[in-house]
Amino acid sequence: MTVLITVLHVIVAFILIVVVLLQTGKRADLAGAFGGGGSQTAFGARGAANALSKATTYAAIIFMATSMILSLLSGSHGGGTGSVLDSVPAPAAKGAPAPAPAGQKLVVPPPPAPSTPPAQAPANPAPQGK
């Protein structure tokens, strides 16, 4: 089903490109180059719809419909409605080592041995008897 709609989508996209490129502009004549040939409307005078403009409209509608259908189908094939962020691990607590990537062991160095201050001589040595 998805393959059929994808093929239809690509064919309609090519048809839409060709039909739009075959159309002439609204002011493609010589008067359009000098600012003439239109009424006071925003996009100029609109003539009757010819076959190319109708084909453009139909191709655009089919293209949008197949786009929506494909997006709905791709969401159902994903296997869930979760978010991409669900697969991101939670940040580690401050001071704790970060978790190891999958398949690797986390090597934590042993804590340093407690150091003892060196013995200090007394500040005022007691006089020794003679």
CA 33, CA 10: separation in Å to the nearest integer?
36
Which domain range does residue 64 map to? Answer: 1-24+50-76
In a domain, 62, yes or no: yes
- Distance (Å, whole) CA 23 – CA 20: 6
Q: What is the reported pTM?
A: 0.48
**Structural domain includes residue 29:** no
Question: Does some domain include residue 105?
Answer: no
The total number of structural domains in the chain stands at 1
What tokens does 7 get? Answer: 């093929």
Residue 32 has pLDDT above 60, yes or no: no
Q: Tell me which of 7-16, 35-44, 46-55 is least confident.
A: 35-44
How sure is the predictor about 122, in pLDDT bands with cuts at 50, 70 and 90?
Answer: low
Radius of gyration of the chain, Cα coordinates, nearest whole angstrom:
38
Average per-residue pLDDT in the chain?
76
What mean pLDDT comes out for the span 8-31? Answer: 84
- Say if 18 falls within a structural domain: yes
The dihedral built from the CA positions of residue 86, 87, 88 and 92, taken in this order, carries a sign that is: positive
Within a domain: 37: no
Residue 67 reports pLDDT greater than 90: yes
User: In this structure, is residue 39 part of a structural domain?
Assistant: no
